């Protein structure tokens, strides 16, 4: 009881000397000590990642002339020089975003950078610098952390970006990685999520579903290993899908291609949480509906055969899988001939008027309302 008395006395000392809100601090202190059973509590699982961000930041406003775009897109946009600067950050947490039982540390370092560069490219910008902060538990050795940074160094080399700072800390829960990426883009070429127009064509780069199916393969092999530690996995038939999961590539080449084709998308987003979720982000930001054609969705032959092996609908993998880090964009009808039959770009549908919903036109011609069922943070365990 004496310990609690000292703590409470110290709290009131802080209140008096720092002129803080006494009621707020007392409420916070006793709330942390004893759970208030009468107070309503909203589980984060009811919100989801993007609803939570929107809820927490809805009262914030931009007060500096240099702040062009704040929360709500793939990256923030700042006006610091002749061009615009884009800034984005992502957090990767062990056990949530990666599993070290099958994720090599070098691959993890590489992927952590790709996750952020992808957001920069989604703004139609050129990535230039990154900072990296990590928190590690005492189970990691110096050599393990060096391996992680070897992957980060390889990403910097391949994408011609500079590592310019960061931080390190200890952790009690494993490995946490936070990467911030910066890039540059001319004002007239900056591409947000909100610029799509009715009848614009929805175009996606590369192919979809491979990363998710690679994850299924790795999880299956992990389960086999747990039953029989002597089992040696043969991943040769799944090399493409596994690489899509463990070592993805951000689509810098697509931004360069668009420049060469003289195309500035009306809207763009990277596919990290699944195609269906990203389509809904574009539609919500642009206040439009859309029609997506199932038969147009691009998938690699190996991903298709892997889906069949797992008795999984390949369309489900393409729509909801996530972590492909391809670019989804809205382009004008007049630019269609420039991308028609291009091996790296596939038209998959078009935007419709704002009163319409997001619909999937199946291979049988049926129109189905498409739900956002990609990756969701804070889901119930």
User: What integer pLDDT is reported at residue 233 of this predicted model?
Assistant: 86
Tell me, yes or no, whether 53 lies in a domain: no
Q: Are residues 218 and 303 in the same domain?
A: yes
User: What integer pLDDT is reported at residue 53 of this predicted model?
Assistant: 53
Domains of the chain: total: 3
Q: Are residues 230 and 173 in the same domain?
A: no
Q: Which of 13-27, 178-192, 338-352 comes out lowest in average pLDDT?
A: 13-27
Identify the CA nearest to 319 among candidates 377, 373, 369.
373
- pLDDT band for 1, please (50, 70, 90 cuts): very low
The HSE-up count of residue 91 (CA atoms within 13 Å, CB side) is 7
**CA 153 to CA 165: how far, in whole Å?**
13
Residues 324-380 pLDDT 10s: 999 999 999 999 999 999 999 999 999 999 878 999 999 999 999 998 764 454 454
Tell me, yes or no, whether 310 lies in a domain: yes
Tell me, yes or no, whether 37 lies in a domain: no
H or E element, residue 201: strand 201-205
pLDDT mean over 126-152 = 92
303: number of Cβ within 10 Å: 27
Q: Are residues 247 and 350 in the same domain?
A: yes
Residues 75-86 pLDDT 10s: 566 666 778 999
Q: Are residues 91 and 17 in the same domain?
A: no
Residue bearing the bigger pLDDT, 14 or 340: 340
Q: What CATH number did the domain enclosing 327 receive? A: 3.90.650.10
Tell me, yes or no, whether 44 lies in a domain: no
Which residues make Cβ contacts (< 8 Å) with residue 279, sequence separation at least 6? 202, 290, 292, 328, 358, 370, 372
Judge contact between 107 and 177, C-beta under 8 A: no
Which residues make Cβ contacts (< 8 Å) with residue 356, sequence separation at least 6? 288, 289, 290
Q: What CATH number did the domain enclosing 107 receive? A: 3.30.1330.10
The domain boundary residue, chosen from 167, 189, 211: 189
Judge contact between 270 and 329, C-beta under 8 A: no
Q: Are residues 258 and 160 in the same domain?
A: no
Place of tokens 């709500």: 72
Identify the CA nearest to 275 among candidates 249, 293, 253.
293
Q: Are residues 343 and 213 in the same domain?
A: yes
Judge contact between 252 and 330, C-beta under 8 A: no
- pLDDT band for 41, please (50, 70, 90 cuts): confident
Residues 243-285 pLDDT 10s: 999 999 999 999 999 999 999 999 999 999 999 999 999 999 9
Residue 100 has pLDDT above 60, yes or no: yes
Domain assignment of residue 260, given as a range: 201-369
The domain boundary residue, chosen from 189, 224, 247: 189
């Amino acid at each position: 009881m004496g310990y609690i008395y000292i703590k409470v006395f110290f709290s009131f000392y802080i209140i008096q000397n720092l002129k803080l809100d006494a009621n707020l601090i007392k409420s916070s202190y006793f709330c942390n000590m004893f759970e208030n059973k009468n107070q309503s509590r909203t589980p984060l699982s009811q919100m989801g990642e993007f609803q939570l961000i929107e809820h927490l930041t809805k009262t914030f406003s931009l007060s500096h002339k240099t702040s062009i775009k704040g929360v709500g897109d793939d990256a923030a946009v700042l006006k610091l020089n002749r061009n615009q600067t884009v800034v984005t950050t992502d957090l990767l947490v062990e056990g949530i975003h990666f599993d070290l039982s099958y994720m090599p540390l070098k691959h993890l370092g590489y992927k952590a950078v790709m996750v952020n560069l992808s957001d920069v490219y989604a703004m139609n910008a050129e990535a230039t610098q990154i900072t990296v902060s990590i928190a590690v538990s005492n189970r990691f050795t110096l050599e393990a952390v060096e391996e992680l940074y070897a992957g980060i160094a390889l990403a910097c080399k391949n994408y011609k970006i500079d590592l310019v700072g960061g931080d390190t800390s200890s952790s009690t829960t494993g490995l946490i990685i936070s990467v911030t990426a910066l890039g540059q883009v001319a004002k007239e070429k900056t591409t947000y999520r909100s610029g799509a127009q009715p009848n614009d064509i929805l175009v996606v780069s590369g192919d979809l579903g491979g990363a998710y199916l690679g994850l299924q393969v790795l999880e299956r092999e992990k389960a086999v290993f747990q039953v029989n530690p002597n089992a040696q996995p043969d991943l040769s038939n799944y090399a493409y899908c596994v690489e899509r999961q463990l070592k993805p590539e951000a689509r810098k080449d697509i931004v360069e291609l668009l420049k060469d084709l003289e195309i500035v998308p009306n809207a763009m987003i990277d596919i990290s949480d699944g195609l269906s979720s990203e389509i809904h982000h574009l539609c919500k930001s642009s206040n439009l509906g859309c029609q997506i054609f199932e038969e147009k969705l691009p998938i690699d032959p190996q991903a298709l055969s892997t889906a069949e092996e797992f008795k999984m609908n390949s369309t489900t993998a393409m729509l909801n899988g996530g972590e492909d880090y391809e670019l989804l964009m809205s382009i004008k009808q007049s630019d269609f001939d420039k991308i028609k039959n291009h091996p790296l770009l596939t038209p998959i549908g078009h935007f419709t008027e704002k009163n319409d919903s997001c619909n999937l036109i199946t291979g049988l011609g049926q129109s189905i309302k498409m739900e956002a069922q990609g990756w969701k943070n804070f889901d119930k365990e």
